[in-house]
Amino acid sequence: MTVISSTIEGRIAIVTADNPPVNALSQAVREGLVREVQAMAADDAVDAIVIACAGRTFFAGADITEFGKPPMNPSLPDVVETIEATEKPVVAALHGTALGGGLEVALSCHYRVALKSAKVGLPEVMLGILPGAGGTQRFPRIAGVENALDAIVSGRHISVVEAHKWGAVDQLVEDADQLLPAAIKLATEKVSEGPRRTGDISIDSGKYDPAFFNAFRASVAKKTRGYFAPEQCIKAVEAAVNMPLAEGLKAERRLFMECMGNPQSAALRHMFFAERQVSRIPGITKETPRRDIKKVGIIGAGTMGGGIAMNFANAGIEVMMLELQQDALDRGLKVVRGNYERSVKSGRLTMGQVDELMARFTGTLSYDALSDCDLIIEAVFEKMEIKKQVFAELDRVAKKGAILASNTSYLDIDEIAASTSRPEDVIGLHFFSPANVMRLLEIVRAEKTADDVLATAVDLAKKIKKVGVVAGVCHGFIGNRMLSKYGWVSAISVISGNKPEEVDAALFDFGMPMGPLTMADMAGLDIGYMNRQSIGRDNYDTRAFDWQDKLVEAGRKGLKVGAGIYDYDEGSRAPKPSAFTENIIDEESKRLGITRTPKAAGDIVERAILALVNEGAKILAEGKAYRASDIDVVYANGYGFPPFRGGPMHYADSLGLDAVVKKLHGFIKEDSNWGTVAPLIEKLAAEGKTFADFDRENAA
Ligand code: 3H9
C-alpha cells in the first residue's frame, strides 16, 4: 500500500498521506514524505507543495509502536529538516488533530492552513518524552515562548483558533471541503514570496532569563511532581531561547534520548496502549448490537447520584433524577447547579451553557416517571436489601429493553439481578467519587448480563468521557478488592512500628496523590468500622484495625468531623499528626504485645504496592479482569496510582516477577495474614514471563 502519494493541480503538488487510523508517522510514511517532497521540489512543473492527510486526521504524531525498537531511517528529524529546507513554499493543510510529530511536520512547512475544528498540540510529555523533531525549538519561535512552554509542558490539545491567534496557523477555514482549495490558493500566492522558515525566526532572549524559567517551574511543580519529562521539556525550551537553532536542536536530541532511556517513558507508553485496550472485550465485536440511550434515570440525588447525572447531561443526554422527598430532590438539583456555576467562575462555562445543561435535568418523586428511560442507574444506600427493593420497583416500571444498572462498589450484582425478572438487562456501573470528575468507570459484567447491554455500556463510557474497564462480580470488583489489601498493609505498618505520617509520606513520595491514612480519614473511618462490625471479628485481622476502631469509638471519624487518624484545624483539610492517635497506637501495640519497629520508607512502599499486585494477580487469574493492563488503568484512573509508574502490574513487571515472588514469600513468613502468593505470579515468574506476556498470550 502506498501511504504517501502525490498529484499535481495546476502548478501545485499535493502530497497526501493515507495511513489509517490516525496517520501515525511510521517508517513508511517518513520515507514516503522525504521521497515525494524531494521529487516535487525537483519537478519543474511544480511551483509549491501542499502536504495533507486523508482520513480522519492530519498526522497524529510519531508511530508510538516503533518506540523501544531499533531506529529506522529516515528519522523524523530528517523528514522535518527536508521539508523546512525545501526551496519551494510548502503549505500544511491541517484537519483533525496535528499532534506531536504531526505538529512538528506542520511547523517545518512554511505556511499552515487549518480547518477551524482542528486541534494541535505537543502531547509527548504524556508519553514521558519531549517533542524530539524540533518542536521544542520551532514552536517557541512561532507561537511565543510563554505559549509554547505551557503547551509543551502540559501536553494539552490546543484549538487552531487559539494557535492562529499566536501566529502558529496562518489561515482558518470553516468547512472540510474548503481546506485543500484554501491550501492550494495560499501555496499559489506564496510562490513569489518563497519559503518562510519557522527555524529562521529569532527569539528576544533577553526577556526570558533564568528567573522566568524558575517561576514557570514553580508554577507547575505540584502538577509535575515525580515526573521526569516536564523538566526536560523546560530545559529544551531554555535551549531554544539561549541557542541558535542548530545547537538548540542538538540539545533537544540529547534531552529526548535521556527521556527515552528513563523507565517512565515505557510506563507512560504502557498506560497509553492500556487505555485503548480496555474496550476489547471477549464476546463483544463491532457487530454486537447496541441499545439506544437517549434518556437516563438516576435514583438518588445525593453527591454520587448528582455527579453521575452530570456526566450524561454533559454528553447531551436527558436525565431524570428520582428522590423520595421533595426537599432532597431540590437539594440535589441545587448542588448540581452549584457545581456547574463553579465552572462559570473558573471560565470553563458561561451562564447560558449552565442553563442549557440544567434544562436536560428533570426531577421526580415517582418511580413511574422512569418508564421512558433507556438506562436507569441506582445510587442509593449500599445495603443489599435496599438495592433489591429498588430493583423490584425498576422491574415493575422500566420499559422493555431498558438497562438497569447499580452503582454499588462492593455488592453482588448477580444477586441484585436475580431479584428482577430480567437479569440479562442488569449491569454494574461503578462510578468513582466525585463522579463528575473521576475518569474511571468500572463496568461490572454479571453472569447473565446480555452482550448488547455490555457493549452499550462500553460505548457509553466513551461517550461520557470515562475510561470504562470491565470487571467481573466479586467483593469490591477490581479496584476496591485490591484496595482492602492496601488498607490492611498500611494499618499493619502503623501498629507494627511506623507513625501514620511516615506511612503516608512514603507512599506520597512514591507518587500517590495522598497517603492511605490521609485517604482513610477523607473517606471516613466509620465506613471501615461499620463494615468490620458487620463481618465480625473472626473474619478480619483485628490486630491491624483495632487502633482505628478505638479512634472511631472516641468520635474521631475522620476529616468530616475534624478529627480522625490526624487532627485538623477548623476549616482546614491539611492533616496534622495527632498526639491522641499516637497514644492509642502505643496502648494498642502494648496490649497486643507488639514491639514497635519502624520500617524504612522503601519497605513500606514495597509492602503496600506488592499487596495490590498479589491481589491483582488473583483477580486476573479468576477472570475478574481481562488484562493486567486493565488493572493498571483502574489504579491510575480511580486511585491516583502514578501513571509514570505504569500501574501496579506494570510496576511489578519492571521489578521482575521473580523478585516479586521472593519478596511476597518473605512477607508471608513474617505475617501469615498476608495469605498466599498468587499462583499466577509464581507461574509467570517460573516461566520467566511478565504480566505483559500474560496479556499478549490472552489477547481478546
Ligand atoms: C511523537 O510524536 C514524538 C516526536 O515528537 C519525536 C520523534 C522523534 N502511534 O486514541 P484512539 C492508535 S510521540 C501509533 O483510539 P481517537 C491507537 O493505539 C506521539 N498508534 O483514537 C488506536 O489503535 P487501536 C505524539 C497510534 O480518535 C488507534 O490509533 N502523539 C498513535 O480517540 C486509534 O486511536 C500523540 O501522543 C500513534 N501516535 O483519538 C498522539 N496514535 O485502534 C496520540 C493513535 O489498535 N494519539 N494510535 O487501539 C492520540 O492522542 C489519539 O489517538 C488521537 C485520536 C487524538 C489522535
Q: Relative to the CA of 104, which ligand 1 atom is closest?
A: 5
Rounded-to-integer distance, Cα 315 and Cα 360, Å: 10
pLDDT over threshold 90, residue 406: yes
Task: Check whether 654 has a pLDDT greater than 90.
Answer: yes
* 112 grid coordinates: 499552515
Give the domain range for residue 679.
Answer: 601-697
Residues 673 and 609 in one domain: yes
Q: Are residues 112 and 252 in the same domain?
A: yes
The pLDDT assigned to 68 comes to 85
Residue 273 maps to a domain: no
CATH number, domain at 339?
3.40.50.720
3-state secondary structure of 86: coil
- Residue scoring higher pLDDT (383 or 230): 230
**Looking at ligand 1, which residue's alpha carbon is closest to its atom 7?**
132
In the predicted model, what is the mean pLDDT of residues 124-150?
Answer: 98
CA pair distance 251, 113, nearest whole angstrom: 30
Asked if residue 518 is part of any domain, the answer here is: yes
- Supply the residue whose CA is at minimum distance from atom 48 of ligand 1: 276
In a domain, 128, yes or no: yes
Distance CA 134, CA 252 (A): 7
pLDDT bracket for residue 1 (50, 70, 90): low
Question: Which residue among 19, 22, 254 has the greatest number of ligand 1 atoms within 8 angstroms of its CB, and so is best to mutate?
Answer: 22
Residues 549 and 674: their CA atoms lie apart, in Å, by 21
pLDDT digits (tens, 9 = 90+) for 469-526: 999 999 999 999 999 999 999 999 999 999 999 999 999 999 999 999 999 999 999 9
What is the pLDDT confidence band of residue 534, given thresholds at 50, 70 and 90? confident
Q: Which residues pair with 4 in a beta bridge?
A: 17
Q: In this structure, what C-alpha cell is assigned to residue 479?
A: 479496584
Expressed in angstroms and rounded, the spacing between residue 40 Cα and the centre of ligand 1 is 29
Domain count of the chain?
4
Q: Collapsing DSSP states into helix, strand and coil, what is residue 471? A: strand
Between the alpha carbon of residue 532 and those of residues 527, 589, 615, the distances in Å are 9, 20, 20
**Interface predicted TM-score of the whole assembly (ipTM), two decimals:** 0.98
Instruction: Answer yes or no: do 247 and 344 share one domain.
Output: no
The confidence band for 332, taking pLDDT boundaries of 50, 70 and 90, is very high
Residue with CA nearest ligand 1 atom 56? 60
Which one-letter DSSP state was computed for residue 598?
Answer: P
Q: Which of 416, 447, 475 is the last residue of a domain?
A: 475
Same domain, 454 and 528: no
Identify residue 227 by its one-letter amino acid code: Y
Report the predicted TM-score, pTM, of the whole model to 2 decimal places: 0.95
What mean pLDDT do residues 113-118 have?
98
- Tens-place pLDDT, residues 370-403: 999 999 999 998 899 999 999 999 999 999 999 9
Nearest residue by C-alpha to atom 33 in ligand 1: 21
**What gap in Å lies between CA 383 and CA 394, rounded to an integer?**
17
In a domain, 287, yes or no: no
For the ranges 65-69, 294-298, 589-593, which has the lowest average pLDDT?
65-69
Are 467 and 484 part of one and the same domain?
no
Domain assignment present for 619? yes
Whether the predicted pLDDT of 700 surpasses 80: no
- Indicate the burial class of 371 (C-beta count within 10 angstroms; 0-12, 13-18, 19 or more): middle
Residue 377 included in any domain: yes
In the reported structure, the alpha carbon of residue 667 is separated from the centroid of ligand 1 by a whole-number distance in angstroms of: 41
Same domain, 541 and 524: yes
C-alpha cell at 689: 514471563
* Nearest atom, ligand 1, residue 119 CA: 55
Residue 57 alpha carbon, nearest atom of ligand 1: 56
HSE-CB at 422 with a 13 A cutoff on CA atoms is: 19
Distance CA 467, CA 439 (A): 6
Rounded distance from Cα 416 to ligand 1 centre (Å): 40
Question: Count of CB atoms within 10 A of residue 210's CB?
Answer: 9
Same-domain check for residues 521 and 444? no
Q: Which atom of ligand 1 is nearest to the CA of 76?
A: 8
Q: Which of 66, 84, 87, 104 is catalytic?
A: 104
One-character DSSP codes across 243-277: S-HHHHHHHHHHHHHHHHTSHHHHHHHHHHHHHHH
Same domain, 623 and 676: yes
Query: Which atom from ligand 1 is nearest to the alpha carbon of 276?
Result: 48
Residue 475 near residue 449, CB atoms below 8 Å: no
Question: How would you write 381-442 as a 3-class SS string?
Answer: CCCHHHHHHHHHHHHHHCCCCCEEEECCCCCCHHHHHHCCCCHHHEEEEEECCCCCCCCEEE
The residue whose CA has the least distance to atom 5 of ligand 1 is: 131
In this structure, how many other beta carbons lie within 10 angstroms of the beta carbon of residue 674? 22
Q: Give the residues surrounding ligand 1 with Cβ less than 6 Å away.
A: 21-22, 24, 57, 60-65, 76, 97, 99-101, 104, 123-124, 127, 131-133, 135, 276
525-541 average pLDDT score: 91
Query: Would you say residue 567 lies in a domain?
Result: yes
Ligand 1 mean position, distance from CA 81 (Å)? 23
Do residues 82 and 164 share a domain? Answer: yes
Give the Cα separation of 700 and 454 in Å (integer). 15
Instruction: Give distance in angstroms: CA of 25 to centre of ligand 1.
Output: 10
What is the distance in A from the centroid of ligand 1 to the CA of 60?
6
Q: Which of 424, 458, 475 corresponds to the end of one domain?
A: 475
- Indicate which CATH number applies to the domain containing 577: 1.10.1040.50
Beta-carbon neighbour count of residue 410 at 10 Å? 15
Q: State in Å: Cα 63 to ligand 1 middle.
A: 7
Residue 31 annotated among the catalytic residues of the structure:
no
Residue 225 scores a pLDDT above 70: yes
Residue 110 three-state SS: coil
Per-residue model confidence as pLDDT tens digits over 161-202: 999 999 999 999 999 999 999 999 999 999 999 999 999 999
Which residue out of 64, 94, 268, 278 has the highest number of ligand 1 atoms within 8 Å of its CB and is therefore the one to mutate? 64
Q: Which atom of ligand 1 is nearest to the CA of 62?
A: 2
pLDDT at res. 531: 85
pLDDT at 397: 97
Q: Would residue 697 show up in a list of annotated catalytic residues for this protein?
A: no
CA of 21 to the centre of ligand 1 (A): 9
Res. 578: pLDDT tops 90? yes
C-alpha cell at 76: 523524523
**Average of pLDDT values for 590-604?**
96
* CATH code of 115's domain: 3.90.226.10
Atom 10, ligand 1: residue with shortest CA distance: 276
Picking from 475, 501, 533, the residue at the C-terminal end of a domain is: 475
Same domain, 471 and 487: no
Residues in the chain: 700
Q: List all residues 6 or more positions away from 84 whose beta carbon is below 8 Å from its beta carbon.
A: 108, 109, 110, 195, 197, 198, 199
Q: Catalytic pick from 31, 36, 81, 124?
A: 124
To the nearest 10°, report the CA torsion of 226, 229, 233, 238: 60
Considering the domain architecture, whether residues 47 and 16 belong to the same structural domain is answered as yes
Does residue 231 form part of some domain?
Answer: yes
Of all protein residues, whose CA lies closest to atom 24 belonging to ligand 1? 276
Chain segment 70-99, per-residue pLDDT in tens: 999 999 999 999 999 999 999 999 999 999
CA distances from 502 to 37, 146, 370, 493, 498 (A): 60, 39, 50, 10, 6
Angle, vertex CA 504, rays to CA 440 and CA 544, nearest 5? 95
Same-domain check for residues 423 and 441: yes
- Supply the residue whose CA is at minimum distance from atom 55 of ligand 1: 97
Mean pLDDT of the chain: 97
Neighbours of 484 (CB within 10 A): 16
Q: How remote is the CA of residue 59 from the centroid of ligand 1, in Å?
A: 9
